[in-house]
Amino acid sequence: MKTLTASSTAQASVVDGVGQLTANQRYVTLGGSWAAWLFDALDATVFGFVLLAVAKTFAVGLGDVVSTVAWFLLATGIGGFFLGNISDKIGRKKTMMLSVFVYGTGTLLCAFADSLWQLNVFRFCVGIAVGGLWSAAAALVSEIWPAAGRAKAFAVMQTGWSGGGLLAAIFAWSFLDGGNPESWRNLFIYASIPAYFTLVFIWLFVKESPVWLANREFMRRNADKGRLMEIFRPQYLKVTLLGLSISVLGMYGYWIITTFMPAYLQSILNVRIDQAPVFVIWIGIGATIGYLAYGYLAESIGRRLSFAVFFGGMAIMVPVFAYSATLMPLTDGKLLFTTQNVIALGSLAALLGFFTGYFSGFGAWYSELFPTSIRSTASGFCFNFGRVGAIAGIKLVPVLIPFIGFTATISLASVSYVIAAVMVFTLQETKGVQLTSGN
């Protein structure tokens, strides 16, 4: 069994000083982390269904509304970095509770925005919390699970993201009204409610990481450890920058797809605002299966090769789905919502979603690459600032559409996946690494 800068004393400090969680406590804590990530995803992705409606309400162009998404993505990077560092200081559980409260409240406030700049502020707050939640939850799940099953455990947690995307699509399908351009406000209200129930559950039932608890004495004795900028010290800089680069490439393609998919289908197939979510539901179903499949594959063949397989799958499926949508038969310029049409396009959407399973890998892999004192800070920075890199992608889409068309623009996302599939081999394989305190 490999260890991450661990010593027998460090291991004993966890076992004898704090004690490991029981199996039941681990599963309950995983369940709480999953729920937090589920409703985090709901609040994060719901905006993609109302881009055009928001543009109409505030009488602005699509490019202006895309700026709201850009602010959100920037905030996830900031939140992942700073709240990740707070998680290393005050604990995983407290940071999760803070993040859940902020993303729920920020989403609720979106419903009452009187202008686009107000909406930007509220979505920025949601983004801070989305980034912070992942940083804390990823560290928590990684630290409470044995090395042999860590990738599978994180895969289970990651299904919360696809589940949240499914919920967002279901909520959009249920609460958006094509005849009421202001119905998007109701969507934000309903999407905010589950966060408060999750907050109570975490408070009552989720356990703090024994590894983090045991590491507090080490942190007190080593005041230079766990500082915000430590991840940029020479011994960590290469891993930090490579991890960030891989995240940027993976996020670049993903956020182009998830941000513009509803608008893309509305544009080329003329489906209604309440019909486009149906295909996003198919993506969510495929993603759920893909997250779990990645976890099992990573335990078998390792982190790097599993990433390469899934990135390669995305490089193929993005243009396949985009161009297949243009071949769907239209009646009077619209896609009829027949069973045949929904299954045909929905099956491709599910396959596209399946290969987003690589998101299961970031939490375990990045947590295994860094010591306990900076684990949440480093993994949060690498993962969440990857979304900041995606800003370039979503800002580029409205610019390119007039020149090369919507379909070709969406398909360009596949380039980032090809590069990412190669770059994963620049980082260390960490399958079997044991996480301990004392580092």
Closest CA to 286 of 315, 268, 310: 310
CB 396 within 8 A of CB 225: no
Please state, as a whole number, how many other Cβ atoms lie within 10 Å of the Cβ of residue 80. Answer: 34
182-194 as b/e: b if 16+ CB within 10 A: ebbbbbbebbbeb
pLDDT tens digits for 332-363?
888 888 889 889 999 999 999 999 999 999 99
Please state, as a whole number, how many other Cβ atoms lie within 10 Å of the Cβ of residue 60. Answer: 15
Task: State how far the Cα of 162 lies from the Cα of 349, in Å rounded to an integer.
Answer: 13
Q: What is the DSSP letter of 328?
A: S
The single-letter code of the amino acid at 367 is S
| Tokens representing residue 130 in the block | 């989305």
* pLDDT given at position 331: 86
Residue 212 — φ and ψ, nearest 5°? -65, -40
Task: State how far the Cα of 182 lies from the Cα of 163, in Å rounded to an integer.
Answer: 26
Task: State how far the Cα of 2 lies from the Cα of 95, in Å rounded to an integer.
Answer: 29
- From residue 292, alpha-carbon distances to 151, 159, 243, 382, 433 in Å are 9, 7, 22, 22, 20
Which CATH architecture is the domain 19-434 placed in? Up-down Bundle (1.20)
The single-letter code of the amino acid at 353 is G
Task: State how far the Cα of 323 lies from the Cα of 331, in Å rounded to an integer.
Answer: 18
3-state secondary structure of 22: coil
Where do the structural domains in the chain lie, given as residue ranges? Answer: 19-434
133-153 as b/e: b if 16+ CB within 10 A: bbbbbbbbbbbbbebeebbbb
Task: State how far the Cα of 173 lies from the Cα of 180, in Å rounded to an integer.
Answer: 13
* pLDDT given at position 438: 65
Task: State how far the Cα of 35 lies from the Cα of 100, in Å rounded to an integer.
Answer: 10
3-state secondary structure of 329: coil
pLDDT tens digits for 196-223?
999 999 999 999 999 999 888 787 777 6
Q: What is the DSSP letter of 48?
A: G
Whole-angstrom distance between the N-terminal and C-terminal Cα of the chain? 17
Closest CA to 188 of 379, 20, 341, 47: 47
Task: State how far the Cα of 429 lies from the Cα of 59, in Å rounded to an integer.
Answer: 50
Task: State how far the Cα of 85 lies from the Cα of 87, in Å rounded to an integer.
Answer: 5
Q: With a cut of 70, list the residues of the chain below it in pLDDT.
A: 1-19, 223-224, 273, 438-439
Greatest alpha-carbon span in the chain: 73
Distance of CA 108 to the CA centre of its chain: 20
Residues sharing a CB contact under 8 Å with residue 114, sequence separation 6 or more, in sequence order? none
Closest CA to 327 of 277, 319, 285: 319
Task: State how far the Cα of 292 lies from the Cα of 162, in Å rounded to an integer.
Answer: 11
